[in-house]
Amino acid sequence: MSETSAHIEVPGEAPHHAEATAFGLDAPGWVAAAMLAVFALMIWKRVPAIVGKLLDGKIDAIRTQLASAETLRKEAEALKAEYEAKAAAADSEAAALIERARTEAEGILDKAKADTKALIARRTRMAEDKIAAAERAAIAEVRTTTADAAAKAAAAIIAESHGAQADKALVDSTIAGLARVN
């Protein structure tokens, strides 16, 4: 039951073509009917629910990935903060070590200066003691030499002024003095 299109020309009008129809529907009507049938079939087979479930699954997978990414980001931030804290601690520890080394160096320098002053004072004292000992030795030598010279001079004077008789009287008076003391 198809109709064939006949070409009828009307004078003064543009030629008009008749469209083919089937069951009272032309080509755009059949396209619309086919689309309605496809939509009806999709709804009847619950395609929107299946698509919704698939999309929900995708959404859940994306949410899981986002949560995982968020967790990784937080862990990365925590690691970054930890390493920044470690770096800051290392910097402060290095500064403390440098300060401690500087303090120890100053202490060693101060001790070296004090030791040097003490060594100089000790060596000065030793030199002064040697000089004083040399002075005492020289004075003792001068005294000994003087005493020897005085003894020799006294012996010479006594030998000149005393004779054997004077010596005998002197010895006798000394012996008598000793006898009285005992």
As a whole number of angstroms, the distance between CA 60 and CA 71 comes to: 16
Residue 13 is classified by DSSP as: S
DSSP tally for the chain: helices H, then strands E? 3, 2
For position 132, what pLDDT does the model report? 93
Identity of the residue numbered 177: G
pLDDT, position 1:
44
Domain of residue 87: give its range: 21-158
- 23-57 pLDDT, tens digit per residue, is 777 878 888 888 988 887 877 777 778 888 899 99
- What pLDDT shows up at residue 105? 94
Query: Is position 176 within any domain?
Result: no
| In the block, residue with structure tokens 């004292």 | 125
Let me know if residue 153 belongs to a domain.
yes
Q: Which amino acid is at 15?
A: P
| pLDDT band per the 50, 70, 90 thresholds, residue 8 | low
Q: What's the chain's average pLDDT?
A: 84
Domain-located, residue 119:
yes
22: which strand partners?
Answer: 25
In a domain, residue 12? The reply is no
Its pTM stands at 0.36
How many domains does the chain fold into? 1
> What is the pLDDT confidence band of residue 18, given thresholds at 50, 70 and 90?
low
Is 164 part of a structural domain of the chain? no
d(CA 104, CA 111): 10
pLDDT at residue 3, rounded to an integer: 47
- Asked, for residue 142, whether it belongs to a domain, the answer is yes
> What are the E-state strand segments in the chain?
7-8, 16-17
Please write the tens of the pLDDT for every residue from 86-134.
999 999 999 999 999 999 999 999 999 999 999 999 999 999 999 999 9
Whether 6 is in a domain gets the answer no
Contact 33, 26 (CB under 8 A): no
Asked if residue 65 is part of any domain, the answer here is yes
DSSP string, 34-96: HHHHHHHHHHHTTHHHHHHHHHHHHHHHHHHHHHHHHHHHHHHHHHHHHHHHHHHHHHHHHHH
